[in-house]
Amino acid sequence: MKDILRMMRFDLLSAAPLALVPLIVIVLALTGIVFLIFPGAAAFMLAGALLFILPQGTIAEKSDFAKLYGTLPVDRRNITRARFLFIFTCLFVAEVFALVLITLSLQFRLNTLLPNQNAEFMQVAAQTFNSSAASNYTLTVVLFTVACFAFSFMEMTGQIFGRESDLKVIFIAMGILTVIGVAFTILSDRDIIPAFNIEAFVEKLKSIRTALCIGIHIVLLGLNILFGEITANALAKREL
Amino acid sequence: MENNILEIQGLCKTYDDFSLQDVSFSLPRGYIMGFVGQNGSGKTTTIRSILNMAQFDSGKISVFGLDSVTDSIAIKERLGVVFDSLYLAEHLNAKQIETQLRPFYKDWDSKEYHSRLKAFNLPEDKKVGDFSKGMKMKFMIAVALSHKPELIILDEPTSGLDPVARDELLDILAEYIEDENRGVLFSTHITADVERIADFVTILHNGKVWYTGTKDDLAADYAVLKGDAKDIPEGVMDKLIGYHNYRNGFEALIRTADLAGLPESLEHEKASIDEILVYIAKEDKHEGHSAHDAV
């Protein structure tokens, strides 16, 4: 576990000089929007996490890290496992930060300090502060879920099949989702399968919201660990 | 403490178009070994096998008496490696790279690291990617030396360096080996570097060890024979390596043991490592008349 933590720290320090300035810009910009206009915008803090995740492959390739990994006194599998935990951790930290921001934003309601409260735009903004806090949190958790799964899956396919396959994976994933969505719509229109009532579904989930949220995070952590093991096993047979 | 800091026995590794065949050699503690051979002779493959970066088909590699595969991590704690190109984050400076690497080594010495940077005139705040080739090489050595390794492996460290930088690098290695408990293995095709500082030499040719032993024995064992082809006695042709006919006569490599009984019209002189490599290569091109078995 110590080696994994060291490698996560290594990845963080690799990306930090490149990510810091854009991260500060994103945080400042989003904080302003979150506190003054739309609390749910905090969900986009996840973009800050991506500043640390996305460059890893490019940095490793450009700096010939394959040779470095061959000289470090670290098990190769732990190098791979660390990358997946790094992805999860970055997104999780961003998510927690976003949820804290939403909470503070709804608490302080700084939007009321802005001028022209009667303007249409300000009325719309005020509604986002008055609506249930849950919808703001839900947006953040949903984005975290999608991002965590997508980027760890892409990391797995990128490391096993090469980074050039990332675009292929995205198109295939989009294609599959489209096919499922279209098929579902057609089948429910023809009453072959019951129509999905999203409002009723969300209502049902309200009672188990917290447990569901915790469950989603545990499942995603488990998936990250699984993808990490699959990747580590695949790469262990290859030469550096 | 084991006498040999590095032992390779019967190393075999096959790729589609190349193979290492029964590579065996040892490096005693306190010495520098030059690992020479043409481009593509298998030097880097051998080094990658030592580092467990390449999986070999058969054989055994021991470093510090430990198995290179099962004890790979323990070995790398005590091993410094320098490749021919920078393998550290180019967008970081020396201070940031130390912060990255320090936690991986129990014996990392920050004072040593910073004093090496100072001694090598390497700026701590400049991105290492902006260093010149010579500076990058010295930086990799500074990193390699900062965790007090007992063995340093360098893969073509002087290629692309100017003579001054090469000279500085060799001085660093000579200073490092003053501690008799250490060892240096450096692979190169620049034989002048080997002539200058190596104690032992291993010559790799087409994936096989052509020679392994002391540099002095190599110099004593082989000579360049020159003269008129007509003066070559019967039976000697088969002993010549890389025979080549020029307008004014022939040249070939020969074992000094085979010089006995040759006519005085044939001249011989000490063979440099460079010449040995050239004649081995010529032998391969069938310019010679004899097949010389690898050691």
Predicted confidence at residue A175, as pLDDT, reads 83
β-strand partners of B214: B200
* 8 Å CB contact between B283 and B292: yes
Minimal-distance CA residue of chain B relative to A5: B103
Which of helix, strand or coil describes residue B295? coil
Between A39 and B204, where is the model more confident? B204
Which pair of tokens denotes residue A146?
A: 């999608």
Predicted confidence at residue B288, as pLDDT, reads 45
Which of helix, strand or coil describes residue A160? helix
Which pair of tokens denotes residue A62?
A: 């450009």
- Which of A17, A68, A74 is closest, CB to CB, to B88? A68
Mean pLDDT on A174-186? 81
In the predicted model, is pLDDT for residue B225 greater than 90? yes
In the predicted model, is pLDDT for residue B23 greater than 90? yes
In the predicted model, is pLDDT for residue B289 greater than 60? no
Residue A117 lies in a domain: yes
Place B294 in a pLDDT band, splitting at 50, 70 and 90: very low
Which pair of tokens denotes residue B85?
A: 């190109």
Mean pLDDT on A99-110? 88
In total, the C-beta contacts within 8 angstroms joining chain A to chain B are 67
Residue range B160-180, pLDDT digits in tens: 888 888 888 899 999 999 988
Residue A10 lies in a domain: yes
Residue A102 lies in a domain: yes
Predicted confidence at residue A162, as pLDDT, reads 84
Mean pLDDT on B18-26? 94
In the predicted model, is pLDDT for residue A125 greater than 80? no
Predicted confidence at residue B286, as pLDDT, reads 58
In the predicted model, is pLDDT for residue B79 greater than 90? yes
Residue range B27-42, pLDDT digits in tens: 999 999 999 998 889 9
Whole-complex ipTM: 0.85
Predicted confidence at residue B159, as pLDDT, reads 81
Chain B residues with CB-CB distance to A10 below 8 A:
100
Beta strands B249-255 and B222-227 are antiparallel
Mean pLDDT on B242-264? 89
Mean pLDDT on A86-92? 96
HEC string for A101-157: HHHHHHHHCHHHHCCCCCCHHHHHHHHHHHCCHHHHHHHHHHHHHHHHHHHHHHHHH
Contact A73 B55 (CB under 8 A): no
Mean pLDDT on B139-152? 95
Predicted confidence at residue A37, as pLDDT, reads 84
Minimal-distance CA residue of chain A relative to B75: A73
Residue range B114-130, pLDDT digits in tens: 999 999 999 999 999 99
Residue range B183-217, pLDDT digits in tens: 999 999 889 999 999 999 999 999 999 999 999 99
In the predicted model, is pLDDT for residue A121 greater than 80? no
In the predicted model, is pLDDT for residue A219 greater than 70? yes
A71 to chain B, any CB pair closer than 8 A? The answer is: yes
DSSP string, A183-205: HHHHHHHTTSSPPP-HHHHHHHH
Predicted confidence at residue A198, as pLDDT, reads 62
What is the C-alpha to C-alpha distance for residues A212 and B258, in angstroms, rounded to an integer? 86
Place A21 in a pLDDT band, splitting at 50, 70 and 90: very high
What is the C-alpha to C-alpha distance for residues A81 and A229, in angstroms, rounded to an integer? 7
In the predicted model, is pLDDT for residue A170 greater than 80? no
Average pLDDT score over chain B = 90
Q: What's the CATH code, domain B4-218? A: 3.40.50.300
* 8 Å CB contact between B254 and B222: yes
Contact A72 B76 (CB under 8 A): yes
Between A12 and A201, where is the model more confident? A12
What is the C-alpha to C-alpha distance for residues B46 and B13, in angstroms, rounded to an integer? 9
Mean pLDDT on B42-60? 94
Which of helix, strand or coil describes residue B40? coil
Contact B87 A14 (CB under 8 A): no
Predicted confidence at residue B293, as pLDDT, reads 41
A18 to chain B, any CB pair closer than 8 A? The answer is: yes
Residue A214 lies in a domain: yes
Please give the angle made by the CA atoms of A165, A169 and A175, to the nearest 5 degrees: 145
Between A225 and A115, where is the model more confident? A225
Between A46 and B284, where is the model more confident? A46
In the predicted model, is pLDDT for residue A208 greater than 90? no
In the predicted model, is pLDDT for residue A152 greater than 80? yes
In the predicted model, is pLDDT for residue B287 greater than 70? no
Which candidate, B266, B179, B187, B191, places its Cα nearest to that of B231? B266
Domain count, chain A: 1
What is the C-alpha to C-alpha distance for residues B27 and B202, in angstroms, rounded to an integer? 10
**Interface list for A 72-101 with B (CB within 8 A):** 72-75
Predicted confidence at residue A202, as pLDDT, reads 65
Which of helix, strand or coil describes residue B209? strand
Structural domain boundaries, residue A226: 2-163+197-236
Between A171 and B171, where is the model more confident? B171
Burial group, residue A77, by CB count within 10 angstroms (0-12, 13-18, 19+): middle
In the predicted model, is pLDDT for residue B295 greater than 80? no
In chain B, what percentage of residues exceed pLDDT 90? Answer: 71
A14 to chain B, any CB pair closer than 8 A? The answer is: yes
Place A192 in a pLDDT band, splitting at 50, 70 and 90: confident
Q: In what order do the strands lie in the sheet with B249-255?
A: B241-246, B249-255, B222-227, B267-270
Mean pLDDT on A190-216? 76
- Which of B55, B81, B91 is closest, CB to CB, to A71? B81
Place B92 in a pLDDT band, splitting at 50, 70 and 90: very high
